[in-house]
Amino acid sequence: MRRFMVVVGLLACLVPLAGAAPALGKAAVEISASPNPVVIGRRVAHTVTVAVSARLDVWVSAAGFAQPELGSLPPGTWTQECCPSQTAGTTAWHYRSTWPAQPGSYRFGADARRTGSYLSTATLGFTTSSVWVRVVRA
């Protein structure tokens, strides 16, 4: 037990040196989508909230959505890739920031193109957040 307390104490001292940590109870990254559900042919706006500076990755299902716009995302690019777990195995649009994203909220849009439920995921360092977006008929 004493060894555990020493390790925890040392880690607590090192965390501030490694960079700012998010406020207690606040996730390093969060992703949401609105409207959800979205009508096929309409645009869904994704919002990604970043609490610490780090490289940002976002995946949006290419099975459910046309290629997203950059919107207010930090400089980076969208590429298409096959079947990552971040979109539950569907073909994906993958965004990667060119350099670390700064804390704040970023928005981008994607047009819904097929009915179903699709997973969108944001990753910042080792932290991940996901949202299921439902696409319905009018």
Report d(CA 64, CA 87) in Å as an integer.
10
Over residues 91-107, the pLDDT tens digits come to 999 999 999 999 999 99
Q: What is the pTM of this model?
A: 0.82
CATH code, domain with 66: 2.60.40.1930
The answer to whether residues 35 and 98 touch, using CB atoms and an 8 Å cutoff, is: no
Percentage of the chain modeled with pLDDT above 70? 82
Tell me, yes or no, whether 44 lies in a domain: yes
Q: What is the pLDDT of residues 38-64, one digit of tens each?
A: 999 999 999 999 999 999 999 999 999
**Does residue 116 belong to any structural domain of this protein?**
yes
3 in a structural domain: no
- Domain residue limits at 89: 22-136
| Residue 28 pLDDT greater than 50, yes or no | yes
* pLDDT value for 22: 52
Q: State how many domains the chain has.
A: 1
Q: In this structure, what token pair is assigned to residue 3? A: 């060894």
Mean pLDDT of the chain: 87
- The verdict on residue 1 lying in a domain is no
The rounded distance, in Å, linking the Cα atoms of 100 and 68 is: 20
